[in-house]
Structure 1
Amino acid sequence: MTVLNYHHLRLFHRIAHEGSLTRAAEFLNLSQSALSVQLQRLEQMLGHELFERRGKKLILTEAGRIALDYADTVFETGDELIKVLQGRPRTAQHVLRVGALTTLSRNFQLAFLRPLIGRPDVELVLRSGTMHELLAQLEMHSLDVVLATIAVRRDAATDLHSHLIAEQPVSLVGRPSPDGKPLRFPDALRTVPVMLPSLDSEIRVALDRVLSLAGIHPIIQAEVDDMAMLRLLAREGEGVAVVPPIVVQDELNAGLLIEHCRIPDVTERFYAIVQTRRFPNPLLRELVTVNGSLPVASDAG
């Protein structure tokens, strides 16, 4: 029976958190060569390389990321034991690292993560950034999933997969009108100022196509690439905003905004982008089902 050498695991744990053999060796008061030999023994015992070298940097492999998660748990559990015996209990947690586009709806993110929120055995690490930044972190195994409104292109050079997890309608949303008259799409946009997603948004591309076919040139009040900002503008502006209702769900429920009408043939898709891994995070499996679908919050309004 193979027995894990916890001394080797402790050394690996320090190397991983320092990101450098040199710094880890200095911290542990060991020579780099001795530390390297101990790391190789751990890798041989586990049957996997735990790091890959990129220049002077040590980058965790997928197996290395899994090993680090377990090592963190092992040593945190030791700390927990001491605290429990001292009358200060602490619960061990499993970690899910989630990246989301900076412009992604916060309400959608909340709906996606809701099954795990509040669980005492789960720690959620949330990161935001550009698509390029997040995909780089995903490929380096520092994220488990990236949430986005666009799918990644599949080709032979990548092992990334995009799971469609929700498709939301898009509506004209605004403050309640004094006369109570309903707005009708697309004719309302001949005279009512509108706040739109930016030109690189799939919503905007689809909307511009519909308006062009109808011969309508909208009065554009604002173009915004951040859904959180578009939400705020919808609350303050006199015109209407083109948004998925889930973005302004709280305002719709409170009556601060109303959904004037749905926009036919225009939707926003939400994707969970993952990397093919031999050791997928089990928490992710709870969020994304086998066929890649996930029920999100029901349409607001």
Structure 2
Amino acid sequence: MEIKQLQHFSRIAEIGNLTRAASVLGLTQAALSRQVGQLEAELGTELFRRTGRGLVLTDAGQRLLDHVPLILRQIALAERAVRGSTGPAQGNLVLGLPPSLARTVVVPLIDAFHERLPEVTLRTVDGLSANLVELVGTGKLDCSVVYNQPPSDVVELRLLADEELYLVASAATRRAGKALPRSLTLADVATLPLVTAGTVNAVHATLASAMAALGLKPQVVHEIENLTAILDLVRKGYGCSVIPLSGVHPCIGDPTLRLHRIRKPALRCSLSVVTPARASNDVLIAQGTALVRDVVRQKLAQFHKEVEEAIDA
């Protein structure tokens, strides 16, 4: 198997159509079809099944596709190691982010990479923290920022910051006929209907664990993974939501929403940077994650100041 064969195989699998894949790759359809045939002959099995709509991976093709990102990443690591660790990083860095951070730090990150690491192309992917850790471990992501994840043998986690959680409610929300106060205790939050991102979400796990320590349980009325949809439900009065600082910040100035501190106790999620195990000598990952850490910390400090000012206004 050749590197180009694997790269082209991966692109065909992604697009699902040989003609379109050939156009994207700048090859003729015949040349790309010949590559697939050679790869299938070498492996002794069919990798694609031809259908009326295009190409679909066979079971064998899916198993190969599962290995391709890790293979290509190891090759990239080797190439960067050969070039040495001097000078600025170069190449493509694929970064995973939780949805709340993805909404608020992607543009500042791209600006920072453009200014400080101009030879690096940053690509971001958002998802649940547990999924992002898995994608780093399998080589599909170079690094990720995640919430509250346990240690792992296949990745390294380094603490980045603690991010405070806030309650977001509709401006019309009342309790005992009165508007909610600026600061709520966790016991107060336990009396409110909540819209959450689901039980596997790190924020929900933090909330449920803190409440359980007080003998309380969150009153979950809806589980929606999409943060935008959660906020839409909150606006319509379906419930309140507990959201990280980075997700709360865009709500400042929204007349339909109110932001509230959570105290006694305050709730925080730990943010960590995840990198593949034994990637410390990789220049691209080392310089890229260092910049990610700087930008995220700076933005969180700014967000905290502005959210607190908005609550007190």
TM-score bracket for this pair, using the shorter chain length: 0.5 to 0.7
TM-score (norm 1): 0.60
Structure with higher Rg: it is: 1
1:174 aligns to what? 169
Per-residue deviation, 1:294: 3.5
1:60 equivalenced with 2:91 (yes/no): no
2:157 aligns to what? 162
2:290 aligns to what? 285
Equivalent-residue separation in structure 2 for 1:190 and 1:229 (angstroms): 22
The answer to whether the 8 A contact 2:273-2:289 is kept is: no
DSSP 3-state at the match of 1:208: helix
DSSP 3-state at the match of 1:295: helix
The answer to whether the 8 A contact 2:147-2:270 is kept is: yes
The answer to whether the 8 A contact 2:130-2:149 is kept is: no
The answer to whether the 8 A contact 1:151-1:273 is kept is: no
Inter-CA distance 208–60: structure 2 relative to 1 (3 Å threshold): closer
1:100 aligns to what? 97
Equivalent-residue separation in structure 1 for 2:79 and 2:107 (angstroms): 29
1:110 aligns to what? 106
2:87 aligns to what? none
The answer to whether the 8 A contact 1:165-1:295 is kept is: no
Gapped regions of structure 2 (runs ≥ 5): 11-26, 39-62, 82-89
The answer to whether the 8 A contact 2:100-2:246 is kept is: no
1:254 equivalenced with 2:254 (yes/no): yes
**What are the equivalent positions in structure 2 for 1:90-239 lying under 5 Å apart?**
94-101=91-98, 105-107=101-103, 109-110=105-106, 113=109, 115-116=111-112, 119=115, 121-129=119-127, 134-135=132-133, 137-139=135-137, 141-155=139-153, 158=154, 160-177=155-172, 180-182=179-181, 184-189=184-189, 191-212=191-212, 214=214, 216=216, 219-239=219-239
Per-residue deviation, 1:66: 4.7
DSSP 3-state at the match of 1:204: helix
Equivalent-residue separation in structure 2 for 1:136 and 1:215 (angstroms): 33
Per-residue deviation, 1:274: 0.3
DSSP 3-state at the match of 2:164: strand
Counterpart code for 1:266: L
Equivalent-residue separation in structure 1 for 2:186 and 2:248 (angstroms): 21
Per-residue deviation, 1:267: 1.0
Counterpart code for 1:194: L
DSSP 3-state at the match of 2:246: helix
The answer to whether the 8 A contact 2:110-2:122 is kept is: no
Inter-CA distance 249–235: structure 2 relative to 1 (3 Å threshold): farther
2:268 aligns to what? 267
Inter-CA distance 241–18: structure 2 relative to 1 (3 Å threshold): closer
The answer to whether the 8 A contact 1:164-1:293 is kept is: no
- Once the two structures are superposed, residues 248-276 of structure 1 have per-residue CA deviations (whole angstroms, 9 ceiling, x without a partner) of 31222334422222242421222220012
2:8 aligns to what? 18
DSSP 3-state at the match of 1:268: strand
The answer to whether the 8 A contact 2:161-2:270 is kept is: yes
The answer to whether the 8 A contact 1:65-1:141 is kept is: no
The answer to whether the 8 A contact 1:231-1:247 is kept is: no
Equivalent-residue separation in structure 1 for 2:229 and 2:163 (angstroms): 19
2:245 aligns to what? 245
RMSD: 4.4
DSSP 3-state at the match of 1:229: helix
Q: Give the stretch that moved more between structures: 270-279 or 212-221.
A: 212-221
- Once the two structures are superposed, residues 59-109 of structure 1 have per-residue CA deviations (whole angstroms, 9 ceiling, x without a partner) of 636552157789xxxxxxxxxxxxxxxxxxxxxx842211235x5543355
Inter-CA distance 128–193: structure 2 relative to 1 (3 Å threshold): closer
Counterpart code for 1:151: Q
Equivalent-residue separation in structure 2 for 1:55 and 1:257 (angstroms): 48
The answer to whether the 8 A contact 1:170-1:266 is kept is: yes
Per-residue deviation, 1:209: 4.2
% of aligned pairs identical? Answer: 16
TM-score (norm 2): 0.58
Aligned length: 239
Equivalent-residue separation in structure 2 for 1:225 and 1:283 (angstroms): 28
Per-residue deviation, 1:208: 3.0
Equivalent-residue separation in structure 1 for 2:158 and 2:186 (angstroms): 32
The answer to whether the 8 A contact 2:208-2:217 is kept is: no
Structure that is richer in helix per residue:
2
The answer to whether the 8 A contact 1:189-1:216 is kept is: no
1:78 aligns to what? none
